[in-house]
Amino acid sequence: MILAAGRGERAGSPHEIPKQYRLLGKKPIIYHAVNCFLQHPAITTIVLVIHPEDRQICQQALGKFKERLIIVEGGSTRQISTLHGLQALKKFNPQYVHIHDGARPFIENKLLDNIHNTITPQAGVLPVLPVSDTLKRVNHQHVLETISRTHLYSAQTPQCFPFESILAAHKQAKKVCKEDFTDDCAIAEWFGLPMRTIPGDPHNIKITWHKDFDTAHLYLQKKMQMFPDIRTGNGYDVHSFEEGDFLILCGIKIPFHKKLNGHSDADVALHALTDALLATRGAGDIGTHFPPSDPQWKNVSSEFFLRHALGLLKKAGGHIANVDITIIAENPQIGPYRHAMIENLMTILAITPDRISIKATTNEKLGFIGRGEGIAALATASVLYPGEFPQ
């Protein structure tokens, strides 16, 4: 759950748009935050809590992700907004929930992995950083004392909780009109839910003040100046025909007087694309992960194989730059189904249509394809991985 219902007036003039929708680089801050979670394979559902007046600006900022987000209107306080979001999540019966501040745009996979490896049904997880500044207690511009930094840490988000426990905590706080909590960990503490700490990320800054924008812009520029680690993989697959009444290509059912012979659904195009994605990780091929000798993969949809490869890619922080598929067949005609194929891949890969190319060609009556004995597919994928290219 990502909280983005605040007005953020400390970050700038009250006449400006809320800070979470201001641009950081070429994208709004909230775009960066949402995209970080969408790219992690362990995240299954995202609820975005927004201000009731922000639906239009939210659509402008996150329209690309609209099919993957559940939009919920927040309340007059952060605490009420969080409860609204938790109630919206309940129907999905989640085991755990991240609660994240939408003004933190830089969440790394490493931090999310650490949270997932630490969370248990008995305790929540809180990322923290040790306090480095000397702390003073002040009254009316007079220093009263210096506070020891021992055991003092600053809290970050995302904070992760067993779902039912944190929902119960928020409901109880509402019931007794307890409204002075500054984060969800504080509610968990009050409710009696143990919290475990893990090291936070110094780059996981919260944009609160106007000067924080400068810090965020500098960090983003530094990330963009790295020479990107772009990897390209190829995949090739071929299947013969057998008697049938349809075949499947790129996940789309195409009526035909034959079908493709294979252990799974024989989607030759998705098989080639799966191999191309696996190649960018040096992770073998589809047969390595799903041996045709294993009966559990009999008649399985090839989308399952593709999503497996996509999960490996995302776990490594990979972002697909583009995919290119060439289907080689005398028949059936691919053109009438090309748009549906692209739309299906858009949904699976979470990329825009300008990053997907699907082409078809014949083999000019040559070879087994020319004789109408089967179909082949060639796929190429380019994937951007985090970090600098190794020197």
Q: Which residues are annotated as a binding site for a divalent metal cation?
A: 237, 239, 271
In SS3 terms, the chain reads as CEEECCCCHHHCCCCCCCHHHCEECCEEHHHHHHHHHHCCCCCCCEEEEECHHHHHHHHHHHHHHHHHEEEEECCCCHHHHHHHHHHHHHHHCCCEEEEEECCCCCCCHHHHHHHHHHCECCEEEEEEEECCCCEEEEECCEEEEEECCCCCEEECCCEEEEHHHHHHHHHHHHHCCCCCCCCHHHHHHHHCCCEEEEECCCCCCCCCCHHHHHHHHHHHHHHHHCCEEEEEEEEEEEEEEEECCEEEECCEEEECCEEECCCCCCCHHHHHHHHHHHHCCCCCCHHHHCCCCCHHHCCCCHHHHHHHHHHHHHHCCCEEEEEEEEEECCCCCCHHHHHHHHHHHHHHHCCCHHHEEEEEECCCCCHHHHCCCEEEEEEEEEEEEEEECCC
Binding site as annotated, residues? 237-239, 263-264, 271, 285-287, 361-364, 368, 371
